[in-house]
Amino acid sequence: MKQLWNLLQCVGRSREALALVERSLAIKPLASGSHYPRAQLLWITGRTAEADRVIERAMQYWPTHRFVRFARFIIFAFTDRPRAALAMIEKPGTAPQNYSPEAIALWRVSLPALDQRTPASIAAARKANLEAVKKNLRLTSQATMVMSALGEIDTAFEIANAFFAVGDRTSPVAAQIRQ
C-alpha cells in the first residue's frame, strides 16, 4: 500500500494517495510511517488545520523520527510560518535530521524570503539557491520548492530542467547551474 500511495502522490494524485494512507492507518493506527505522509497529504490537499493536528500528534509520539520532523518543518515552511520552520532548524532537538549543513544554510537564506517576500529577499534567495544547486545537485528539490513558493516559477522549472537535462540547456539558469 505504501508503494502505491507514494506512486500516486508522485504523479499528483494526492487525494487517492491520502485515501490509501488513511486505509493503512485504519489497519495499523500506531504506525509512524503512515502519520507523516497523512499530514503531508492533508496539507497538499488544502487541509492545513488537519495536517497541523496530525503532525503535532506525531511529534508527541515520535519526536525523533526523521520524517515526522521533516514533515513538520515543510508544513511550517510552506504554510506561511517560515519563522517557526527557522526556529526548528536553529534548535538541535527539533531540526530535521535529514538536512545536510548545506541544506540548513540554504534554508537560512530561503526562509526569510518566504517570510518577507520583498524583492531584495527574493533576489537573495534566488541567488543563494542557484549557487547552492550549482555546488550540490542534491539541493535541487529544495531549491525548486522554494523558488515555486516565492512565485519564481520560471526559475523553479529551469532548475528542475537543468537537473534532469530537459529542454533548453542554454537558458540563463541552466547555464549558471552547469558552470
Residue 158 has pLDDT above 60, yes or no: yes
pLDDT band at residue 27 using 50, 70 and 90 as cut-offs: very high
Alpha helices in 11-91 (DSSP H): 14-27, 32-44, 48-61, 66-77, 82-90
Percent of the chain with pLDDT over 70: 92
Residue 172 has pLDDT above 80, yes or no: no
Name the amino acid, one letter, at 119.
P
pLDDT for 120: 96
Fold entry, domain 2-90: 1.25.40
Percent of the chain with pLDDT over 90: 75
Buried b (16+ CB within 10 A) or exposed e, 24-62: bbeeeeeeeebbbbbbbbbbbeeebeebbebbeebbeeb
Q: Model confidence over 65-112: pLDDT tens digits?
A: 999 999 999 999 999 999 999 999 999 788 889 899 999 999 999 999
pLDDT for 166: 58
Task: Return all residues near 166 (Cβ < 8 A) that are at least 6 apart.
Answer: 160
Predicted model pTM: 0.88
pLDDT for 98: 87
The CATH 1.25.40.10 portion of the chain extends over: 2-90
